[in-house]
Amino acid sequence: MNPESPPPLSTGFIFHEQLVSYLKEIFCRIDRCLGCRSCEIACAVEHSQSKNLISAVQESPAPLHRVRALIVDEKGGYVRLRSIALQCRHCHEPACAQACIAGGIVRDEISGAVKFDREKCVACWSCTMVCPFGAIVRVSGQSCAVKCDLCPDREIPACVQACPTTALVFCEAEEFEISLKDN
């Protein structure tokens, strides 16, 4: 075998890396995001007991959204403010999983999603401190963190489907890069 050629696909690590590179992710086109918070509402409703907006508002405890619409300072010094929908990036090497002392955060080897087991959470908040995106949230009054789960029971995550300006896109990274170049 040529020393410069990549290892064969039969090695688990290479296969895993190739598999993960083709997974769909949620991307935010900040040029389209209005900060309307439709994504937050859709996420909360999807994670409610009733799955219905009117009923979800009345639930106790209130359903939690796992995506946040934020206003960010794009240039520094408040020159140009933009809105962005922020949710878990499902990192290939998640710092939150490495920091979780209870083993409650794991990367699914098949789907590539970074999954959170609320039952294992010991409320140490290590995951919230190490997340480079600030996407894992400590919820007041609750003893565990909350993060995006990519709506595993849906083909398209609720936040993406609810976005009125199509600022949120659910696709592979390569497909998103091509769409940015085309526009």
Classify residue 6: in a domain, yes or no: no
7 in a structural domain: no
Inform me whether the pLDDT recorded for 106 exceeds 90: yes
Which tokens is 173 given?
Answer: 């990274």
Residue 53 belongs to a domain: yes
- Tell me if 5 is assigned to some domain: no
Asked whether residue 180 is assigned to any structural domain, the reply reads yes
Q: What's the whole-number mean pLDDT along residues 172-179?
A: 88
Is the domain of 44 the same as that of 73?
yes
Q: Taking all residues of the chain, what is their mean pLDDT, rounded to a whole number?
A: 83
Q: What is the mean pLDDT of residues 14-31?
A: 65
Q: How far is CA 169 from the centre of its chain?
A: 12
Closest CA to 41 of 26, 56, 31: 56
State yes or no: pLDDT of 120 exceeds 70. Answer: yes
Looking at the structure, tell me whether residues 82 and 162 fall in a common domain.
yes
**Distance from C-alpha of 62 to C-alpha of 132, rounded to nearest angstrom:** 27
Specify whether 51 is located in the same domain as 75.
yes
Say if 12 falls within a structural domain.
no
Dump the DSSP string for 111-163.
Answer: T--EEE-TTT--S--HHHHH-TT--SEEPTT-SSEE-----TTSSS-HHHHH-
Indicate if 95 and 65 belong to the same structural domain: no
Q: What is the rounded average pLDDT of the residues 80-101?
A: 88
Tell whether 45 and 95 lie within a shared domain.
no
Report pLDDT for 77.
52
88 compared with 142, residue with greater pLDDT: 88
Longest dimension (CA), the chain: 64
Place of tokens 């998640």: 94
78 and 39 housed in the same domain: yes
Question: What is the pTM (predicted TM-score) of this model?
Answer: 0.78
Complete DSSP assignment for 11-31 = SHHHHHHHHHTT-EEEEE-TT
In the predicted structure, residue 95 carries a pLDDT above the cut 70: yes
Six-digit token pair at 115? 């999954």
Distance from C-alpha of 25 to C-alpha of 23, rounded to nearest angstrom: 6
Q: Is residue 8 part of a domain?
A: no
Residues linked to residue 116 through DSSP beta bridges, in sequence order: 105
Are 75 and 95 within one domain? no
Residue type at 161? Answer: Q
68: left (phi over 0), alpha (psi -120 to 50) or beta: beta
Return the higher-pLDDT residue of 60 and 9: 60
Are residues 80 and 160 part of one domain?
A: yes
- 27 beta partners: 169
Q: Is the pLDDT of residue 38 over 60?
A: yes
Domain span including residue 77 = 24-87+156-183
Give pLDDT, residue 2: 42
Q: Does one domain contain both 79 and 116?
A: no
Count of domains for the chain: 2
**Domain CATH number, residue 102:** 3.30.70.20
